[in-house]
Amino acid sequence: MENHIEKILFTEKQISQRVSELASQITLNFSPSTNNGGGPLLSSSSSAPVVVGVATGAFLFLADLVRKINLPISVDFVRVESYGSGTVSSGKPKISCDLKIDVTGKHVILVEDVVDTGNTLACLFEHLKSKGASSISVCTLLDKPSRRKVNVEPVGEGKFYCGFECPDYFVVGYGLDFSEVYRNLPYVGILKPEMYS
C-alpha cells in the first residue's frame, strides 16, 4: 500500500500532536469552571457535550480525540453518504444511519475526517437542529476551504476546530479511504492518481 502513496502530507507524529492540541482546546472550552478569554461554552449546570463521529472516515480521529478530552462526554455516530466509490462528492449527502443519543438541549461536537464542499455539514447541521441540539461545533481533521461550496457557521455557541488545512488533493489514510481501502494507514497521504483513474 505504501507504494500507492505519492506523498505523505501529515505524519503520524504530526497528527498525534495536533489531536492532543485539539482535545486540550475542547476540554478548555467545555470545562464549566474555566474562565479564560474564550470563555467556557457550558455553565456549571450544563451537561457535557455529545461528540458525534461522522462514519466511517472519522473513526480513527474520533477514537484518538475522545481519549484525550478530559470531560465526561457522550459519544455517538452518524453515517452520511455522499461519495460512494468515487473521489468527488455527489453534492447530495443523505443520512443512512442516525444517532441513538437524544441531543435535545445538548451541545454537539461533530467530528469529521475532512470538510470540503460543506454539503455534508449543511445536511448534518439541519438534521441536528431539527433534533433540538442547543449548539453545534465542528472538529475536523482536515479542512479544504478551496473546495467550499456551502459556508456553514457553527450553531449557537459552537466553534470550528481544525486539525490541518489540506491542499486540494485526493488524500487517504488515518481513516480516509478510496473504495474502503487505505483507512488503516497511520498518516495522511496523497493517493497516486493512477490508483483511482
pLDDT in tens, 131-177: 999 999 999 999 999 999 999 899 998 999 999 999 999 999 999 99
Give me 190's grid cell.
496523497
| Mean pLDDT within 91-98 | 82
Report the mean per-residue pLDDT for the chain.
90
User: What CA–CA distance (Å, rounded) separates 74 from 104?
Assistant: 13
Q: What percentage of the chain reaches a pLDDT higher than 90? A: 76
C-alpha angle 161-167-172 in degrees, rounded to nearest 5: 85
Catalytic residues: 116
